[in-house]
Amino acid sequence: MAYQFDWSIIWTNPYFKWLVIGFIKTVEIGILSWIIALPLGIGIGALRSLPSRVGRVVGTAYVEFFRNIPLLVQLFFWYYAIPPLLGTRISRMHNLEWYCAIFGLGIYTASRVAEHVRSGFSSVPVGQRFAALSTGLSQFQMFRYVIIPYGFRIMIPPLTTEFLTIFKNSALAMTIGILELSGISWRINEYTFHGFEASTAAIVGYLIIGLTIIFLMGKVEKRLRVPGLVRRE
């Protein structure tokens, strides 16, 4: 029997309302996780760029640990393994899955952000470092006034990619009980057996998020770009 398309499914309630709620949850998870990932990743990446051996060891250990464990396994660990160890009060916390998803996605993405930060800081020419020190700047001042402004302009494209990825990775939150956009499309398929239409609606939602981020970050990159600093092919 041929598949019977019915695009009206996604526009009728409660399914359209579910999709809107799922879209909002996806955006919320992505933004809140990024609020954790960006500053933490910058801090870890900075540690890996400092002369301190201890700082480099700590930063490298963080990156290699979280980056090399699948995100799905990490989400299961934070949601299923840790709460029982912390007592009944934590394991029965309202919206526990929400906090675990945001925290797990945030610290995982931070390990990836840290690597881009380290790479960006390392791309500053050695000559500029020596020139800054020769003018009387301290190591801290050199890092603040030379390496950070130069490096961050180089980091914008890869950080944009990580920002996009965090929204796509948020789909894994449905494995611990959060009905975000992917989870909602799966739920609609269970109710209506119109998986193609539901999945297409989810795809459109992710495209809206992704294209919006690309547009906004393109504006940021263009505003901060220094002629000749980063060459676009």
Nearest-10 crossing angle of helices 96-122, 148-169: 150
- CATH code of residue 126: 1.10.3720.10
Whether residue 90 is contained in a domain is answered as yes
Whether residue 231 is contained in a domain is answered as no
Rounded to the nearest 10°, the torsion over CA 154, 155, 158, 160 is -110
Whether residue 232 is contained in a domain is answered as no
**Burial 159-171, CB ≥16 within 10 A → b, else e:** bbebbbebbebbb
Whether residue 1 is contained in a domain is answered as no
Domain extent for 147: 7-224
Whether residue 233 is contained in a domain is answered as no
Cβ neighbours for 74, distance < 8 A, ≥ 6 positions apart: 66, 104, 107, 108
Task: Encode pLDDT of 121-154 as tens digits.
Answer: 888 887 887 888 888 888 788 888 888 888 888 8
How far is residue 144 CA from its own chain's centroid?
A: 25
User: How much is the pLDDT for 197?
Assistant: 95
Is it the case that residue 233 has pLDDT exceeding 50? no
Whether residue 158 is contained in a domain is answered as yes
Mean pLDDT score across all residues of the chain: 90
pTM: 0.89
Report how many domains make up the chain: 1
177 vs 188: CA distance, rounded Å: 15
